[in-house]
Structure 1
Amino acid sequence: ETPKSVQRLVASVSAATFAVTSTYWSQAIIAEVYALHTVLIALIVWFTLRWQTQIWARYALAVTIGLGMAHHVTTILLIPAVVVYLLSQVDRPIKIATQSLIQYGALAAAPLLLYLYIPLIAPFTPYAHLTLSETQTLTLYDNSIFGFVSHITATAFAGELQPAAVGIERLKLVWQLLLQQVRWPGLILAAMGIITLWCRQRGLFGLTGLMFLAVIGFNLIYFIGDVFVLFIPAWLVVCIWIGVGILSLTHHLADRFVRQKIGAEDSVIFQRMRRQLWRNAYQIIALSLPLFFFALPIFLMVTNFAVVDQNKNTQAQTRWQEILAEPLPESAILLSNDRNEIMPMWYYQYVENRRPDLLGLFPLITPDPAYAHISGVLDQALSSGRPVYFIKPMDGLSLKANVIPEGTLYRATSLPEAPTYKQQQRLTDPSSAETISLMGYDLSATTVKPGETIEVTLYWYVDHPLAVNYTSYVHLISADGTGITQSDHQPGGDFYPSSEWQVGETLRDRHQLTLPSDIPAGEYRLRVGMYYQPGPGVIQPLGDGLEPGTLVVETAESQEGLLQ
């Protein structure tokens, strides 16, 4: 009902709003796949809407779906919505000729031939295989039929689909991301657009609604760190709804204003003149009102600019210039728990040919389970015999290795063999079936004086997966059971908490005890153990604790007594 000029103006508001949503804007200015993915999705929607009226749109739709699948496999999420929409637009039973099916199928499949570039280029790709040692080779791409199929179907990410893990926190994440994109004014306009489509364009309501639900539903169960970028198609739909809402509101306000000032268009008095006046006034008002809605993209642009601005984002460049300036030994291995922190090194190696001897590793660099966790990556690196460095502090990994600062890096070396008891002592919680064994312990000194600090090193053997992040403790206790001093901390910290420990590992857990200055001389018991703290003031112990040994405290008076 609104003039084309008004529709185009409103479409400009909608497009501008989407362009400055924080997630899309952040991805559109970097070398990533999601901006082009969004263009292909927009084209799929456009060609779908023209399927009935334009023959060429049918062929274009098939090709674009194929391109989308070749570009990003999540394009498949749109297909049910497209099919339902096309079926809803046909009044009579559908009869599709076999020839047409073959035609459309061939057009959709043709772009998938782009995948053949992968096996063709793989033999010449320097990082398809990385040599860790003579007996250790990392296969980043398996150039076989099985490897090819696994790669294009994203089999490596199948483990991140976790429907059972979806809860209220995941729903809160979706709401927070949505609100962050268009704020409350945008949500209100989108709601108006949804209502308008339901009342007047059920087909488009179904198409956009099913697209939105498919994207949101998939992302709810897909647990990867940067899942927020996969919501972009859903935000595109929201901005379409915003445009429909603005158009509906513009039409309603313009129509009401003109009717109040001029009267109904079908008045019999001066009918032709009044109709022309009515239309002119309506068009002027309808063209003016959308201009006010440009306030939304302007507001989003101003508020999001500081977030997406990359003008001074040189941290990665600066840090890697520092790292490459270090006198690193030949063939050193550099570790991080974050893939994105290692990738700049590949640029310097493969583009600028700087330090090609170095090897960067991170979790999930290959589908091999040995590289699933940073601890496994560290084990593989240490077993290679090559020098190993952390590119940042990862204090929790001192459970697995000796870590010493070296320049701006941190040198990691293998732990010495742990002392062991003749028989392991075990912490067990009958209520949860959680268990862990104490292999042995070390003291930095067997006798200490009041006021001194002693290091107590515990060696835990992981004989059962632990479900929660435990706190370990070492308590010094007098003969009558009175606590003298203690050390409590979460072994592994944030980088390797107990819930990520792997069965079969022996982990070093170091505690420091500072003795009171007035502690009497004598022999004191060491009590060690673990507990879980689900909330403030709530402690769930893992068993009753263990008493592996004693500590002797000597004072000046006690030493004099011995001399006498």
Structure 2
Amino acid sequence: MGTRSGCRSLFVVRRWTRDTILALFFALASLALYAATAAPSVATLFDDSLEFQVVLPTLGIAHPSGYPLYTLLGRLWTLLLPLRDPAGRANLLSAVAAAAAVGVFFLVARRLAGSRPAAVIATVALIISPTWWSQATIAEVYALHGLLVALFLYCLLRWEGTPVAAGRRQVAAGGAGSSSFQLPASNTRWLAAAALVAGLGLTHHHMIALLAPAALVFVIRTDPSLLRRPRRWLPLLLCALAPLLFYLYLPIRGRVTGSLDGIFTPTAWGTLDWLLARGYSVFLTSNPFGVSRGLGTYLSLFPDQFGVLLCLGALPGLAIGWRQNARRYVLLLLATAAQIAFGAAYKVQDIDVFFIPAFMLVALWAAWGMTILVQWLESILTRYSLLITRYSLLITLSLSAIVLVQPAVTAIRAFPQQDRSRAWGVYDYGADMLANIAPGGEVVGLLGETTLLRYFRDVLGQRPDISVVPADAETDRFAAVDTALAAGRPVYLTRDLPGAAARYSLDAAGPLIAVSPKAAPAVAPAGRPIGAGIVLVDARGEVRWTHAGPVVRLTLTWAATAPVAEELKVSARLLDEAGQVVAADDRVPVHFAYPTTAWAPGEQVQDVYDLTQPAGAAGGPYGVLLILYRVADGGEVGRAELSAVTVGGG
């Protein structure tokens, strides 16, 4: 008996050691994938990623609920990691969090399903699922949120499996064997860990609260004595509430800095309103974006992530999983229902990321369901052949691997979109803006565009002389421009401002629009006549090198000899030696902001066009052709050939 017991103990140790090694393997493998495809620096303009890439390195105030845990972790991470720039480091933080979540997810699936192959299949499906992968390569909150969700479930399942919890269930069921059965001192270490993780989750993303009803039912069903001994809840509540002290970061730090939109106020009510994210309740109570989704849209979210077969594999778990373990079944069922209900009720455009916990839970259902299905198949097959019994593991792996075909094909096809490792476009755009701002200049634009400039100024320490004014409302942009002009500061717009052409003179300054007081009519300077009363005063071509390759920038100076009655567009073209167009840029002058009908006679207008050499194109001289044509009917009014530009090979 002693030898057999010792062998059994050794087997258990070896089994969990293998699972730990597998979890570590999946974590490292996914980390390699996510780090290799992570964006190298700033990669987006109009989402939260850019905001976090400014907030984390500078200890700023993120949008509601403030995300203090993520901010403090991100600050420490960007300080200590010696790789990439701060934005790239923030992206790698998501890769690390997502990889850690994958490792913990495997352990959860292994405990829940009881089958190692099923847990492996579910884990691989999660690793390459489109939404999860996309959030592992940029600075976002969802990878860390997924890690906290997985840790919370893991701690609950570990607590359920402790001898103390099992003993209490045995007593509650009357199966202790004798009235003298004694329970050891309550071991709530893993339950306390779950409470602590839940508290940390509340300081990161409030959606973790959706797991609370399922967790409470699970805990009470696992240890009913908790209902009779309320004092045992006190240390658990302390563990859950203690992390909320992280929210003190908001009013403390808010006294020296603010949110990027300038709205946060570090008062008690301002902090409470911020951490509760009351402003976002509008997406639950109304539909400000006019989002329209039917049942089919929500149902298709899951096959889009995991493929049809894996989703079908979840059905046996949903159908009869309660027979194997009713407590775990209720835990998963309530948690999944809460996550899906919230996602369906939350009327935002990027709904996929809010379904990430639901995706993880469905993958767990799939692991459980595949285990049940394989057990059923083995019970049938073993009746007919001992050979099949001998190779049951191979059969199990083969059948399970079939469900990964569709997710794998989807991942391979989507790889060019998922791979952000060469996504330098936003960084190059920001550097280009910065290079074209006069000393002491002010840039007025949308929040995302000005946040990009703040990254270069506040995080990288470049151009501390410039100021930025985020103004999404057009009236606010007009007010900011008027204030800057009255103070005599150089002022720029990041995009067309309707009505600005009638009030100001506008010129292109790289990708920006330089604003100045409206020019008075004057005598037109000498230049090359193009047609329709337009002359080309000056034209310069230069080759700019970006991360994507060479770009030919044409800087043109136009003038009108008389008022222009019709709106014209410019077509700038790059021609190869055979006269074929290899690149073109067609637009209304000054980045669509300053139509020819708004030009004052004699006013000189600077205009900019970028012509990108196609990838793989041969280097050498390229011709440059300008065509002026009417917007109304496309009729050409004039053209001019410029000096050739020598471009290096792409």
- TM-score class, shorter-chain normalisation, is 0.5 to 0.7
1-structure distance, mates of 2:331, 2:507: 57
For residue 242 of structure 2, what is the amino acid of its counterpart?
A
Q: 228-237 or 395-404, which moves further after superposition?
A: 395-404
Which secondary structure state, in structure 2, belongs to the residue aligned with residue 406 of structure 1?
Answer: strand
1:59 to partner: Cα distance? 0.9
2-structure distance, mates of 1:83, 1:227: 27
User: How big is each residue's C-alpha offset from its partner over 1:224-278, in whole Å with a ceiling of 9 and x where there is no partner?
Assistant: 444432221111112112212322222222222212214xxxxxxxxxxxxxx99
Equivalences for 1:167-178 in 2 at 5 Å? 168-169=292-293, 171-178=295-302
273, 283, 289: which is aligned to 1:150?
273
Equivalences for 1:160-171 in 2 at 5 Å? 160-163=283-286, 168-169=292-293, 171=295
1:152 to partner: Cα distance? 1.7
1:159 aligns with 2:282: yes
2-structure distance, mates of 1:122, 1:58: 34
1-structure distance, mates of 2:466, 2:402: 56
1:324 to partner: Cα distance? 0.8
204, 208, 216: which is aligned to 2:340?
216
Is the contact made by 1:163 and 1:221 (CA closer than 8 Å) also made in structure 2? Answer: no
Q: Which residue of 1 aligns with 2:551?
A: none
1-structure distance, mates of 2:141, 2:218: 27
1:407 aligns with 2:509: yes
For residue 264 of structure 2, what is the amino acid of its counterpart?
Y
1:22 to partner: Cα distance? 0.9
2-structure distance, mates of 1:81, 1:25: 27
Is the contact made by 2:155 and 2:191 (CA closer than 8 Å) also made in structure 1? Answer: yes
For residue 421 of structure 2, what is the amino acid of its counterpart?
N
1:171 to partner: Cα distance? 4.4
Q: Which residue of 1 aligns with 2:579?
A: none
Q: Which has the higher helix share?
A: 2
Q: Which residue of 1 aligns with 2:251?
A: 119
For residue 244 of structure 2, what is the amino acid of its counterpart?
L
2-structure distance, mates of 1:291, 1:155: 45
78, 83, 107: which is aligned to 2:239?
107
1:153 to partner: Cα distance? 1.5
Distance 1:347-1:283 versus aligned 2 partners, 3 A rule: same
Q: Which residue of 2 aligns with 1:25?
A: 133
1:347 aligns with 2:430: no
1:63 aligns with 2:217: no
Distance 1:99-1:230 versus aligned 2 partners, 3 A rule: same
2-structure distance, mates of 1:295, 1:218: 30
1-structure distance, mates of 2:330, 2:596: 60
1:75 to partner: Cα distance? 1.4
1:34 to partner: Cα distance? 1.1
98, 105, 117: which is aligned to 1:9?
117
User: How big is each residue's C-alpha offset from its partner over 1:378-411, in whole Å with a ceiling of 9 and x where there is no partner?
Assistant: 24423533554332x4465659965734223124
User: How big is each residue's C-alpha offset from its partner over 1:312-370, in whole Å with a ceiling of 9 and x where there is no partner?
Assistant: 1111111111111104352412302x62x43332221122211234344446xxxxxxx
Distance 1:374-1:212 versus aligned 2 partners, 3 A rule: farther
Distance 1:376-1:159 versus aligned 2 partners, 3 A rule: farther
For residue 48 of structure 1, what is the amino acid of its counterpart?
L
1:208 to partner: Cα distance? 2.3
Which secondary structure state, in structure 1, belongs to the residue aligned with residue 160 of structure 2?
Answer: coil
Equivalences for 1:273-292 in 2 at 5 Å? 280-283=390-393, 285-292=395-402
User: How big is each residue's C-alpha offset from its partner over 1:57-103, in whole Å with a ceiling of 9 and x where there is no partner?
Assistant: 2111111101111121221111122123334445x675243432221
Q: Which residue of 2 aligns with 1:545?
A: none
Q: Which residue of 1 aligns with 2:148?
A: 40
Q: Which residue of 1 aligns with 2:215?
A: 82
343, 354, 368: which is aligned to 1:230?
354
1:284 to partner: Cα distance? 5.0
1:207 aligns with 2:331: yes
Scaled by the length of structure 2, the TM-score of the pair is: 0.53
1:193 aligns with 2:317: yes
Is the contact made by 1:21 and 1:304 (CA closer than 8 Å) also made in structure 2? Answer: no
Scaled by the length of structure 1, the TM-score of the pair is: 0.60
User: How big is each residue's C-alpha offset from its partner over 1:416-469, in whole Å with a ceiling of 9 and x where there is no partner?
Assistant: 9xxxxxxxxxxxxxxxxxxxxxxxxxxxxxxx9xxx9579xxxxxxxxxxxxxx
Distance 1:244-1:410 versus aligned 2 partners, 3 A rule: same
2-structure distance, mates of 1:233, 1:167: 21
1:381 aligns with 2:480: yes
Is the contact made by 1:208 and 1:237 (CA closer than 8 Å) also made in structure 2? Answer: yes
Q: Which residue of 1 aligns with 2:180?
A: none
2-structure distance, mates of 1:415, 1:169: 48
CA-based RMSD of the aligned residues comes to: 3.7
Is the contact made by 1:66 and 1:108 (CA closer than 8 Å) also made in structure 2? Answer: yes
Q: Which residue of 2 aligns with 1:332?
A: 442
Equivalences for 1:418-497 in 2 at 5 Å? none
For residue 365 of structure 2, what is the amino acid of its counterpart?
W
364, 372, 380: which is aligned to 1:240?
364
2-structure distance, mates of 1:258, 1:403: 84
Which secondary structure state, in structure 2, belongs to the residue aligned with residue 334 of structure 1?
Answer: strand
1:414 to partner: Cα distance? 8.8
1:314 aligns with 2:424: yes
Q: 377-386 or 306-315, which moves further after superposition?
A: 377-386
Percent identity of the aligned residues? 24
Equivalences for 1:244-255 in 2 at 5 Å? 244-255=368-379
Is the contact made by 1:69 and 1:76 (CA closer than 8 Å) also made in structure 2? Answer: yes
1:198 to partner: Cα distance? 4.9
Is the contact made by 1:402 and 1:415 (CA closer than 8 Å) also made in structure 2? Answer: yes
1:279 to partner: Cα distance? 6.4
Distance 1:330-1:99 versus aligned 2 partners, 3 A rule: same
Distance 1:290-1:335 versus aligned 2 partners, 3 A rule: same
Is the contact made by 2:343 and 2:355 (CA closer than 8 Å) also made in structure 1? Answer: yes
Q: Which residue of 2 aligns with 1:303?
A: 413
251, 264, 268: which is aligned to 1:141?
264
1-structure distance, mates of 2:259, 2:381: 70
Q: 58-67 or 7-16, which moves further after superposition?
A: 7-16
Q: Which residue of 1 aligns with 2:170?
A: none
1-structure distance, mates of 2:147, 2:233: 26
For residue 155 of structure 1, what is the amino acid of its counterpart?
R
Distance 1:184-1:292 versus aligned 2 partners, 3 A rule: closer
Q: Which residue of 2 aligns with 1:487?
A: none
1:294 to partner: Cα distance? 4.3
Distance 1:172-1:290 versus aligned 2 partners, 3 A rule: closer
Is the contact made by 1:362 and 1:374 (CA closer than 8 Å) also made in structure 2? Answer: no
Q: 95-104 or 108-117, which moves further after superposition?
A: 95-104
For residue 235 of structure 1, what is the amino acid of its counterpart?
F
User: How big is each residue's C-alpha offset from its partner over 1:458-515, in whole Å with a ceiling of 9 and x where there is no partner?
Assistant: xxxxxxxxxxxxxxxxxxxxxxxxxxxxxxxxxxxxx9xxxxxxxxxxxxx9999xxx
For residue 304 of structure 2, what is the amino acid of its counterpart?
Q
For residue 369 of structure 2, what is the amino acid of its counterpart?
G
95, 101, 109: which is aligned to 2:227?
95
1-structure distance, mates of 2:303, 2:491: 44
1-structure distance, mates of 2:499, 2:209: 41
Is the contact made by 1:258 and 1:281 (CA closer than 8 Å) also made in structure 2? Answer: no
Q: Which runs of 5+ in 2 are unaligned?
A: 1-11, 20-113, 163-187, 520-562, 568-591, 599-650
2-structure distance, mates of 1:400, 1:286: 72
Number of paired residues?
389
Greater relative contact order (Cα 8 A, min sep 6): structure 1 or 2? 2
Q: Which residue of 2 aligns with 1:485?
A: none
